[in-house]
Every structure is written in C-alpha cells, then in structure tokens.
Amino acid sequence: MSAGETMTEFDSQPAVPEPTRASTDYTGAPPQVTTKRISDIPLTDTAVLKAQSLLRIQDLNLFYGQKQALFDINLEVRTHSVMSLIGPSGCGKSTLLRCLNRMNDLVGNVRISGSVKVGEDDIYDPAVDVISLRKRMGMVFQKSNPFPKSIYENVAYGLRIQGVKDRAVLDEAVERSLIGSGLWDEVKDRLKESGLGLSGGQQQRLCIARAMAIQPEVLLMDEPCSALDPLATSRIEELIFELKRNYTIVIVTHNMQQAARVSDFTAFFWMGKLIETGLTEMLFTNPRVRMTEDYISGRFG
Amino acid sequence: MARHFDNELRDLKFSLLAMAGQVEEMIALTHASLMERSDAKAQQVIQLDKGVDELELRLDQACIDLLALRAPFASDLRLIASTLKIVPELERIGDHCSNIARRALTLNPMLPLDAGDYLRRLGEETHSMVRRAVDAFVNLDADMAHAVIKDDDRVDALYVQMYRELLRIMIGDALTIERASHLIIVIKNWERIADQATNIAEEVLFIIGGVSVKHPYLQVPPSEG
C-alpha cells in the first residue's frame, strides 16, 4: 500500500481527537440573574418555596407623631418558613415586628396606614379583636422575661387567662409546650420551682414554651438569643429549625450569621425602608443591592 | 467603613497573583524550551513547579483561615470561594508545564520534526489566555473573561490541526513515530492549560456576577422555569 492510499483512507475516516474541554457555547451576554437557574435552586427545603404566604404586609407606613418610622413596606412571609429581619439599629425591623401583633397600639401617638394580613384577616381592621389576634401571634423578646411564678404556671398562664381551668388540659398543654421548646427533660421534675431559677437559655426556652402553649400560628422573635451564650444560642437555633414545621417564624436579629443559619428568607431594612428581600442563601452570597452587600459584609452599620 | 478584613483580602489577592506570576513564568520557559530546544529552560520549569506547589498549600490555608475567622458574605465570600478553586487550576497548569518540559528534554537531542507553525501558536495562544484570565481576575473584567472563554475554541482547533498533521507525518514515515508521539502529549498538555485558563475565567465571572456560568446546557432559560 502506498502512502497516498493510506492518506486517502485516513481522510475518509478522520481520527479527530476530541479536545478534553470542547467549545462552550456562551451567548456572550453577561450572566443574567434569575431565580430559575439550576445553581440558584437551593439544595434543601424546597417546600418553603412552594408554600403560600401566611403574612402579607402591604404598603405599610408607620409614624411616631410627625416622624415616619416605616416607609411603604411590602413583604410576604410564607407558611412554615423562617423570615429574618436584619438591618442596623433604628432601621425599623423591630417596629415592623411589633406591627405584626399590634404591639405598637400600646405606644401613644402612633399612626399606621396600609394593611397587614394573617391569612385572610387584616389585623388593622377596626373590627378585629386584638386579644384573639395576639393569640395567633406568639412573641418572644430579647431579654427572657418569665413571670415570677412556677415553671408550670409560666407556661399555663396564657390558657389560664383564657379561662381554662381543667387540670388535664393545662397539664397536657404544659407538657406539650415544654417538650416543643426542648425544655421538658430538664424541668419535668421541678415544675413547681420558680421560672426565675432557670439559666438564661432555659428561661428563653421557657418563654418560647409559654408562647407555644396558646398554639399560635406565628412566632415573632425579637433578638431571642442576644443575651445568650453560644451553646444556649445554638439550642434556640436548633429549636427554631424544629419549630418551623408547625409555626411560621419572623425573627429580628443583629447577628448576620444567625440570620444565615436559621432563616429561609431574609429582609434587609435601612432607615425604615425595606431595601432587599429574598432567599437567605441568595441574599448572603449574591445580594442585588449594593447597600445590602455593604451591610452584610460589615462595611457600614 | 475601612475594614481590617479588606487588607487580608488584598493580601490573599497578592498571594494569588504571586502564584499566577510564577505559573506564567513557567509557561514562558516551557514555550521557550520547546522553541529554542533549551534543556536549561526545561530544567528550570521542573524546578519552579515546587514553588508553585508550596504556594498552593499556603493559599489553601489562607482561604480556610479567612472562611473560618471572618465568616464572609457576598462578594467577600465569592472571592475567597473562587480563589479556592482558582488555586488548583494554577497548580495544574504548573504540572502540565512540567510534563511538557520533560517531553522537551526527551525531544531536544532528537532531530527536529517539521510540523509547521502549530506548536509556536499553541504555546503563544495558551500563554495569552492564562495571562488574560489572571488580568480579568485582577481587574474583575467580565469582557476579558468572556474573551478568554471564547479563545479556548481557537486553541482546541490548533490542537486538532496539529494532531492531524502529526498523524500524517507518522503515517508517511515510521521513523517519526517516537518524536511525534511525544509531541502529541505536548500539545495535549497545552490544550489542557487553555482549559484551565477557561476555568479561571469562569470563576472570575462568578466573582463578578454571583452566578455560575459553567455548563450552560444545564442552565434553564428563565422562560421555562
């Protein structure tokens, strides 16, 4: 066989080597940010993405006298998800949290426009019964504030003021709530002792149990871990993870890592305005707004 | 607000640039060792590889430290995470240069093989891609990163053309088979270095845009999502 014939045979069946990394077809446009990209779909907890909104805040404005504290807030919180509200002090996040159970009613000279809906009910509807509203919205504060009563009575308190007297009902609610807040095993043998004798972390979990006893739909938490050590903090954070199976949680926190760890969604506030909200993992890896970026990476605030 | 963290990130970037600088020097020497048939330059390449390996270890540790101690978010996080991915790419480029240099030491005493201009162009194009990928990282230049990714096609084409040319030569003259086989491995290594430059450019686009541009075939167009 001559060399020429071989060449012909070779050309008819070209043994083209494949480059290890062949051409990549980019459209040339800079990467577009959409929530539809595969890399943007979170690896866990896709359930919260499909959930309906339980809380709907629409065009909410709040004034303390002449001073406006919240500006045109529009925010939705999905059922059984955790929403973190972050932002520098005075940004309006705690004010917004207090709007959700009408605690601002207790402050004089407050004027509110817009609407806040829990399910289908507008909580600022004049016809709404504030007491029954607050039963749907449990609240946990920055500083644990157990009543100077026994552990048992602390948890049973909400039911007692509702007029529940049946011992079996109270026992069941106390046990269920303390189990739910992860405190049962630590206190079941001393339910009659004062709640004030517990450690800071235990007191905070007692307050969570107290909020849970009335079986609210929403748990509002205002910096629930800011006075706790890291171990107690991580117990509360684990608890939040458990609680969101049954509750919708809105948490105000100054601790960005905490917001990143516990929440499905995060909303960033500045000077009474909602600057940016979105999936927590997106907000902390790729915020859209420069101000959010600067705040979460500690450049201002 | 000025942050101490910014100085640490700047140091991290400088260290990565030092590593990239060493790798670029290796590429230049590798190319010269082939073009000039210089054993001395090939030996230099092999020796430089150790320094690049050391820098890889140091940069890995620096990134882990910053992640652990600073718990970075947003663009800080993307910079550190991408650095963790760029460093092994640079280290692999060093390895490929060493591989080529070893082949150069084998080839240099042999008779030259006339396979056209491809080998020079492959070395130059690949070096240019690495240099521009690093520049895109320094300046966070998305246009340049896109250009690097596009240029990979040219290197791939050069690789295929030279591969075919070497096949032709081998088929024509069995005495060339040994040299041509070594050269096939040389050009495969150049082709891989260009791939690594492409990967670096993709990381740069991630740092800038926060969205991975890898594997476009897996990205669902917004209209279908």
Strands (E), A50-158: 53-64, 67-78, 82-86, 110-118, 121-122, 137-140
Q: Are A86 and A253 in contact (CB under 8 A)?
A: yes
Local structure of A128: helix, strand or coil:
coil
Assign A31 a pLDDT band (cuts: 50, 70, 90). very low
Residue A20 contacts B where some CB pair is shorter than 8 Å? yes
φ and ψ at A115, to 5 degrees?
Answer: -135, 150
Closest-CA residue of B relative to A21 is B195
- Is the pLDDT at B109 greater than 60, yes or no? yes
Count interface pairs A-B at CB distance under 8 A: 113
Closest-CA residue of B relative to A294 is B74
The CA distance from B107 to B144, in Å, is: 35
For chain B, the distance separating the N- and C-terminal CA atoms, rounded to the nearest angstrom, is: 40
CA dihedral A182, A185, A190, A194 (to 10 degrees): -20
- Pick from B153, B163, B205: which is nearest to A23 by CB? B153
Q: Are B129 and B158 in contact (CB under 8 A)?
A: no
Name residues 75-134 of chain B within 8 A of A (Cβ). 75-78
Contacts with B73 from chain A: Cβ below 8 Å? 256, 260, 284-285, 296-297
Q: What is the CATH number of domain A46-146+219-296?
A: 3.40.50.300
- Pick from A30, A39, A285: which is nearest to B74 by CB? A285
Assign A2 a pLDDT band (cuts: 50, 70, 90). very low
Q: Kindly report the pTM of this predicted structure.
A: 0.81
Q: Which ipTM did the prediction report?
A: 0.78
- Is the pLDDT at A183 greater than 50, yes or no? yes
Token representation of residue B54: 């050391």
- HSE (side-chain half, CA atoms, 13 Å) at A18: 4
Q: Are B165 and B183 in contact (CB under 8 A)?
A: no
> What pLDDT was estimated at residue A56?
95
Residue B191 contacts A where some CB pair is shorter than 8 Å? yes
- Is the pLDDT at B164 greater than 70, yes or no? yes
Assign B2 a pLDDT band (cuts: 50, 70, 90). low
Residue B146 contacts A where some CB pair is shorter than 8 Å? yes
Q: Are A182 and A175 in contact (CB under 8 A)?
A: no
Q: Do B72 and A3 touch (CB under 8 A)?
A: no
Contacts with B186 from chain A: Cβ below 8 Å? none
Q: Do A19 and B160 touch (CB under 8 A)?
A: yes
Structural domains for chain B? 4-212 (1.20.58.220)
Residue A287 contacts B where some CB pair is shorter than 8 Å? yes
- Pick from B171, B188, B218: which is nearest to A6 by CB? B171
DSSP letter, residue A145: -
Total residues found in chain B within this entry: 225
Give the distance from residue B115's alpha carbon to the nearest chain A alpha carbon, in angstroms.
Answer: 16
**Residue in B104, B118, B119 with CA at minimum distance from that of residue B46:** B104
Mean pLDDT of B142-151: 97
Q: Which of A30-39, A100-109, A250-259, B126-135 has the lowest mean pLDDT?
A: A30-39
Assign A153 a pLDDT band (cuts: 50, 70, 90). very high
- Pick from B74, B195, B209: which is nearest to A21 by CB? B195
pLDDT tens-place string over residues A201-245:
999 999 999 999 999 999 999 999 988 889 889 989 999 998 999
Strands in A121-122's sheet, in edge-to-edge order, are A121-122, A110-118, A53-64, A67-78, A273-279, A265-270, A82-86, A248-252, A218-222, A137-140
Q: Do A24 and B219 touch (CB under 8 A)?
A: no
> What pLDDT was estimated at residue A16?
61
Cβ within 8 Å of residue A234, ≥6 positions away = none
- Pick from A20, A40, A296: which is nearest to B191 by CB? A20
Local structure of A130: helix, strand or coil:
helix
- Pick from A17, A26, A297: which is nearest to B160 by CB? A17
- HSE (side-chain half, CA atoms, 13 Å) at A265: 23
Which residue's entry shows tokens 């096949």? Answer: B167
Contacts with A275 from chain B: Cβ below 8 Å? none
Listed by start position, the domains of chain A span 46-146+219-296
Preferred mutation among B161, B211, B217 to probe A, highest tally of A CBs within 10 A: B211
Burial B4-41 (b: 16+ CB within 10 A, else e): ebeebbeebeebbeebbebbbbbbbbbbbbbeeebeeb
Q: Do A38 and B222 touch (CB under 8 A)?
A: no
Q: Are B209 and B74 in contact (CB under 8 A)?
A: no
The CA distance from A288 to A299, in Å, is: 16
Beta pairing class for A248-252 and A82-86: parallel
- Pick from B73, B172, B212: which is nearest to A284 by CB? B73
pLDDT tens-place string over residues B61-102:
999 999 999 999 999 999 999 999 999 999 999 999 999 999
Q: What is the average pLDDT value for chain B, to the nearest integer?
A: 94
Assign A33 a pLDDT band (cuts: 50, 70, 90). very low
The percentage of residues in chain B with a pLDDT greater than 70, rounded to a whole number, is 96
- HSE (side-chain half, CA atoms, 13 Å) at B136: 28
Give the distance from residue B220's alpha carbon to the nearest chain A alpha carbon, in angstroms.
Answer: 6
Residue B190 contacts A where some CB pair is shorter than 8 Å? no
Q: Are A80 and A51 in contact (CB under 8 A)?
A: yes
Closest-CA residue of B relative to A35 is B222
The CA distance from A159 to B207, in Å, is: 54
Residue B198 contacts A where some CB pair is shorter than 8 Å? yes
